[in-house]
Amino acid sequence: MINLINPKDLLEFLKSRRSIRIFDNKPIPDEEIKMILEAGRWSPSAFNRQMWEFIVIKSRDILEKISETAPWGKFIKRAPIAIAIIGKDKNKYKWFIQDTTLASMNMILMAWSLGIGSCWVGDMDRDLAKELLNVSKEDYVLTILPIGYLKVEIPRPTLRKKIEEIYRIV
């Protein structure tokens, strides 16, 4: 029998997650980084192809350069690390966006469970990121996830639409 989490506890956990843009300088232990990467590795993927690569970025220089090309992600440079999530063989494999997006969400949730914040960054100079990270032209840089312990209190939740406004039954 699989150990299941209480559904109400899981929902409360999901509701507690926030996008974090202000990080403490405290280093993240390798064990916790590996747990975050494992969460990505265990994400579902089409046909279980696992067409992804995860690059842990610790270089201050690379974080700074990527940050400067991200109009809404200037905070990347203030994170202790970031994880680049790469979709492999984008020209041969059509599910790379869906698969890497699932992996990124698993990583974000694992980080949050460890008391580590992150924020999905989708707008950056992907060609420069590929060059800086030595990523093939056939691959796709989905996101750079800045990762770090929270420097401030957990932000209050943003407003959400009422459930009745976002679903329908057919």
Instruction: Find residue 41's DSSP bridge partners.
Output: none
| Nearest by Cα to 118 from 145, 142, 100, 141 | 145
Which amino acid is located at 157 in the chain? Answer: P
Confidence of residue 1 (pLDDT cuts 50, 70, 90): low
Average pLDDT over residues 20-28: 96
Domain boundaries, the chain: 19-151
**What distances in angstroms separate CA 150 from CA 4, 17, 52, 86, 146, one per listed residue?**
28, 12, 28, 25, 12
The SS3 call for residue 52 is strand
Please say whether the beta carbons of 120 and 145 come within 8 A. yes
Q: What is the pLDDT of residues 106-127, one digit of tens each?
A: 999 999 999 999 999 999 999 9
**What distances in angstroms separate CA 155 from CA 7, 16, 33, 36, 151, one per listed residue?**
24, 9, 23, 22, 11
Other beta carbons within 10 angstroms of residue 68's beta carbon come to 15
**Is-above-0.75 flag for pTM?**
yes
**What distances in angstroms separate CA 53 from CA 1, 42, 45, one per listed residue?**
32, 13, 13
Residues 6 or more apart whose Cβ sits within 8 Å of residue 61 = none
Q: What is the pLDDT of residues 123-155, one digit of tens each?
A: 999 999 999 999 999 999 999 999 999 998 888
pLDDT at residue 77, as a whole number = 96
What CATH homologous superfamily does 19-151 map to? NADH Oxidase (3.40.109.10)
Helix 96-113 and helix 7-16: axis angle, to 10°? 100
| Residue 140 token pair | 């796709």
Q: Exposed e or buried b for every residue in 129-140, given b needs 16+ CB within 10 A?
A: bbebbebeeebb
Taking the C-alpha atoms of residue 108 and residue 19, their distance in angstroms, rounded to an integer, is: 9
